[in-house]
Amino acid sequence: MRGDKQMKQLLEGNHAVAMGVLRSRVQVIPAYPITPQTHISELLSEFTSDGTMDARYIKVESEHSAMAACIGAATAGARTFTATSSQGLALMHEMLHWAAGGRLPIVMACVNRTLGSPWNIWNDQSDSMAQRDAGWLQFYCEDNQDCVDSVLLAYAIAEKVYTPAMIILDAFILSHTTEPVDVPDEKEADRFLSPLSNPHAIDLDSPRAFSPVVAPDHFTEVKYRQFDAVRRSLSVIDEEHRRFKDIFGREYTSVETYRTEDAEVIIAACGAVCGTIRAAVDRLRDEDIPVGMVKVRTFRPFPVESIRAAVSGASTICALDKSVTPGIGGPLAQEIRAALYDADIRPRVVGTVAGLGGRDITVDLIREAIMELSKTKKTPEPFFLGMK
């Protein structure tokens, strides 16, 4: 039976991530604490100090240094991991581009927390969405099982396309909340994820320059190869999802649908809020309102064809964003509009923004939004939910 060797544990989301790192046999962990990801780094420091993990844990002076150390270790051929949140991710910004441009399969957990100013430690997705163009793969987790599994999946994918990957979980909603989790068996995890063998790593017998200056004559070609690798990673993601299901019995897809077959309105979202949306969809269905949900798990690369197929029968797409680009609206709404621009289907895409700074997104709030949208054919942009 698939998954019969897994061990059920009660884990908070941060510790689920750490268990995924343990099972991935990570070799180098540069880390700097920041709320709300600190529990990841703390547990990994315990694993390395007590011998549970055969890994080098590096205490650095900042998140910028954490990513710089990841880049150095990955260039040397080591499987590397770090975690951060919010202002820490923003401090890494320069180094994120170096990691992506260097085609290094680093995996990082981003525990979503609001970017200041004003100062706020609660959850929204402004930090990861602000880095959506840095060249990293981005996978949004819905629950704690997703957190542990996504680490293994991220390494399997990143190490095939030589592109860094970010797994993303909602602060406090997942990071500090305990749920039952099936922790993959060590041998089964090894069966899924082979040891890293990077042919581009430093080889003392074959000296070369890494990340040299590239003149205009070749720079476009270098960036095109990076672009093409990320674009082609969609097929690799699908294949690794299939392999994961074969071994562990759990199914993941880049885009997941819920009650969309006859839905006139579809709510699209990323992350833990999808559980609340499912409950809202069920309630609205009980009222004979044809609503469904699309969960976007893979945000980078953006799964254009899967999005088109998922929303093809709807008249309205309500894109629920937990971040906002001032002056234009939410990133998910923008991406869905772009995906549908030259498609044969032309549903109305309404951008909604909710949950900023950790404000609750409730079933009642989602229901009110759908009822409000049904009253008008206008497309407000963006439509802020729960304003006082």
Which pLDDT value is given to residue 383? 84
Which pLDDT value is given to residue 4? 60
Q: What's the rounded Cα separation, in Å, for the pair 353 and 225?
A: 35
Which pLDDT value is given to residue 28? 98
Task: Establish whether the linkage from the previous residue to 118 is cis, with ω within 30° of 0.
Answer: yes
Which pLDDT value is given to residue 342? 87
Q: What's the rounded Cα separation, in Å, for the pair 334 and 354?
A: 15
- Which of 63, 74, 134, 139 is closest to 100 using CA atoms? 134
> What number of other Cβ atoms are within 10 A of residue 120's Cβ?
16
Residue 4 DSSP SS3: coil
Which pLDDT value is given to residue 373? 83
Cα dist. 243→18, 31, 77, 192 in Å? 22, 30, 24, 7
Which pLDDT value is given to residue 1? 39
Task: Establish whether the linkage from the previous residue to 301 is cis, with ω within 30° of 0.
Answer: yes
Which pLDDT value is given to residue 240? 98
Q: What's the rounded Cα separation, in Å, for the pair 103 and 165?
A: 11
Tell me if 114 sits within 8 A of 34, measured CB to CB: no
Residues 276-306 pLDDT 10s:
999 999 999 999 999 999 999 999 999 999 9
Angle at which helices 144-161 and 13-23 pack, to 10 degrees? Answer: 40
What averages of pLDDT result for each successive group of 10 residues across the chain (388 residues)?
Answer: 72 98 98 97 98 98 98 97 98 97 97 96 97 98 98 98 98 98 96 94 86 92 96 97 97 98 97 98 97 98 97 94 94 96 88 96 94 74 81
Q: What's the rounded Cα separation, in Å, for the pair 14 and 201?
A: 30
> What CATH number labels 257-384?
3.40.50.920
What is 318-349 written as a DSSP string?
A: EEEESS-BTTTB-HHHHHHHHHHTTSS---EE
The answer regarding whether domain 7-248 maps to CATH 3.30.1490.20 reads no
What are the residue boundaries of the structural domains of the chain, listed by start?
A: 7-248, 257-384
Residues 40-54 pLDDT 10s:
999 999 999 999 999
Which pLDDT value is given to residue 149? 98
